[in-house]
Amino acid sequence: MQKISTFFLTRRHYLLLLLITLIAYWPLTFHIFSLKNDALVYFLPYRYHISEAIQNGHFPWWNPYLYTGLPLHSDIQSGVWNPVVMFISLFTQYNLAVLQWELLFYLFIAAAGMFKLVKEFNNNAVTSVIAATAYLCCGFMTDSGSIIPWITSAAYLPFVFLYFYRLLNKPLLKTALKFTLALSLLLTAGYPSFFIYCLYVLLTGFIFWAIRHYKEKSLKPVLAFTIVAAIIFLLIVSPAVLSWWDFFGYYDRGNGASLERIQTNAFPPFSSISYLLPSAVSRSHPLLQTDLTARNASTGIFILVFFLLALAGKLKPVYKFIGALILFSFLFSLGDATPVREWCHRFLPFMNSFRHPASMRIFTTIGIILIAAPVLNTFLVTKDAASKKIKILAAALIILLFCILTYYIIKNGLPQLIIPEKGKALLDKLSYVDIAVMQGIIQIAFISFFLLAVWKGWKKYIPALVIANAIIFCWMALPFTFISQVKTSVIDQYIASSPKNYPLTEIAKPVTTTGADPSTVSPLGQEKFYNKTISIQDHVITPTISTHYINFLKDTILRKALNNYPFVYFSDSTVLSTAVLPDSGRLVLFERIGRTIEIEAHTTGTISVVKFEPNKIELEIAATNKGLLNLFQQYHHGWRAFEDNIEIPVYRTNRAFMSVPVSAGKHTIKFKLGPHDFIRVAVYVSSFTLLLISIFFILQLVKKKTSE
């Protein structure tokens, strides 16, 4: 019993952060409302199919239902290489409730990571809890609810910086391994742009540290452990990196994006008002011409107060570096409003591979919290520490907010809050000015209470006041960017009603190819993905999609010609282009005709499906003569085909799909999907590396327990 009490006592701050996480994001905790947008139509169905494959004993190399066949393992954001997704999939199948618990886990990890990072800089536990709450409820988090890899990246970034900072100051093997694991999670579970940007931050930080310590003996061990960490990192992430690299030739993003494209969704300069009025930027405004996910940069009004106070004093070298990072990241996030993003695009490798410059404001947020924390810490633990400056700064913010509110009220009048609508209808009626005025009044009230607490010497109430402010403004942001009006249970019932496993009956249905299917995307998600209908998906949301598939979608003539063909069919005519099409019969567009063998003869016959799995399709055919067997699955070089166990070539036909030459008579045709051998080898190497790391930490734990 004493051991249990000690366990919880030593981890009480993490338990408190868990409670704060569950309260701050209560709609997810109690599954009252669902996630929306990308979380619903992209990340949920992908995780659903990953978990279904694993639950049925298959590795999710391929899924036949996503965009008429897709290499799941090569999709950077699918979650195949995310250890959390893989772990969950071992025990249950995904639905929205499971996805929301996964997201709550990342949010808690983000808070725990920030707690540890701030505490590393010699701040006490109370200050660290406040900083962690500010990070948990910051504008970036509340903006990113629909893009789960962004929040995942935000969860692991504090750990990357924590162990990197430790490695520089006290180089040890265990620290190098922890740094490696954190960096591996950032890459395999997060969004690639955060990893790329973070690498440049780490490289710059290491260079500045080395310049300051080049004469000291600590340089060599730091360099040695950094090299070890880099090697182990490459071994761990090799399956994911090789899988992504294997698909680069299929899509445009693999060759880099244009300058115009990478400026998409920048942080508007006017959105800087979100530091004072967080949710106001969620409403339309002439100066907010960007996506909702790119507008809110709030760190909490009190973190801002102590950050500004810190800038008024003398900063240590590490905080000067963090300050430079804040400035650079802020300018980068502005997109084409400054030349910084363009310079990075032109001169830095991999900086041309991602969009959404506003997402890099997470580095600004982390920096602001880290610089504000020591001043907050001193204020909380020292009597009358800079109280005069704090009073002046807080009073100035009250005056500034009052001026902003006065301007808006004079220009637009008081918000019309007494209206019959409720819920979403009420939110839709609220304008930018309405929310700005309401939040301005709330902020003035909070700062006034803060001033009173400072004046009366009630510092013990200030942590609760700061945390309450962060949580309340988090609640106010969620309906705009995070949650929908649909209940989680409704979506889960919808998913539960879908066919299970990999039913053969669906194969015989015709493949719909004409026009955008309005039922493809419903308020409940991607319908065709769940009901396992082989069909052309017009609503393409994943960036990891074959250019050939996009070309097929654009070819309206070919799509019309192939409309309602079955999933697999014999063709009776071959065309080299869509300029001249036959009046009848089933055709195949074969632009690579004659590459290996001449395809002149065509055939008819019967086709039956013997086995249909995510990585294997087996057919029985009876062909009148030799010809082409055509399959509505996207072409990928990983597919191999066999006729009676003799390998036959696989061609890309109909712009994006597969065909194989077959002989006359009865045959068994097998399609098998497998990654390159080097990816399989990488999986074993990565697994063995992780096993060795696990053994190392177990031995460390045993050694510690023995010494105690």
Mean pLDDT lowest for which of 22-26, 250-254, 665-669, 702-706?
Answer: 250-254
As a whole number, mean pLDDT of residues 372-385 equals 88
pLDDT exceeds 50 at position 581: yes
What is the rounded CA–CA span in Å between residue 385 and residue 378?
7
**Torsions phi, psi of 630, nearest 5?**
-115, 140
Question: Taking all residues of the chain, what is their mean pLDDT, rounded to a whole number?
Answer: 90
> What does the pLDDT read at residue 669?
96
As a whole number, mean pLDDT of residues 177-188 equals 97
Percent of the chain scoring above 70 in pLDDT: 92
- Distance, CA of 494 to chain centre: 24
pLDDT band, residue 677 (cuts 50/70/90): confident
> What does the pLDDT read at residue 270?
96
pLDDT band, residue 519 (cuts 50/70/90): very low
> What does the pLDDT read at residue 8?
55
pLDDT tens-place string over residues 623-667: 998 889 999 999 999 999 999 999 999 999 999 999 999 999 999
pLDDT tens-place string over residues 481-504: 898 888 999 999 999 998 888 887
Q: Rounded to the nearest 5 degrees, what angle is found at the Cα of 69, between the Cα atoms of 64 and 75? A: 110
What is the rounded CA–CA span in Å between residue 201 and residue 213?
18
> Cβ(42)–Cβ(79) under 8 Å?
no
pLDDT band, residue 357 (cuts 50/70/90): very high
As a whole number, mean pLDDT of residues 387-392 equals 86
pLDDT exceeds 70 at position 425: no
pLDDT band, residue 602 (cuts 50/70/90): confident
> What does the pLDDT read at residue 527?
80
N- to C-terminal Cα separation, the chain: 19
Record the pTM. Answer: 0.94
| The 627-634 sheet, strands edge to edge | 568-570, 627-634, 657-662, 651-653
As a whole number, mean pLDDT of residues 242-249 equals 91
> What does the pLDDT read at residue 215?
76
pLDDT tens-place string over residues 213-236: 877 777 889 999 999 999 999 999
Q: Who wins on pLDDT, 537 or 163?
A: 163
pLDDT band, residue 281 (cuts 50/70/90): very high
Highest mean pLDDT among 153-157, 345-349, 491-495, 533-537: 153-157
> What does the pLDDT read at residue 675?
82
pLDDT tens-place string over residues 501-516: 888 756 667 887 665 5
Strand partners, 621: 607, 667
pLDDT exceeds 70 at position 77: yes
CA distances from 624 to 241, 377, 621, 628, 651 (A): 45, 83, 10, 12, 21
Instruction: Return the CA Rg of the chain.
Output: 28
Q: Give the other-Cβ count within 10 Å of 57's Cβ.
A: 7
As a whole number, mean pLDDT of residues 460-475 equals 96
Percent of the chain scoring above 90 in pLDDT: 68
Report the amino acid identity of residue 182: A
> What does the pLDDT read at residue 398?
95
Reported residue count of the chain is 708
Concatenated DSSP letters of 321-360: HHHHHHHHHHHHHTGGGSSHHHHHHHHSTTTTS---GGGG
As a whole number, mean pLDDT of residues 194-222 equals 90
pLDDT exceeds 90 at position 676: no
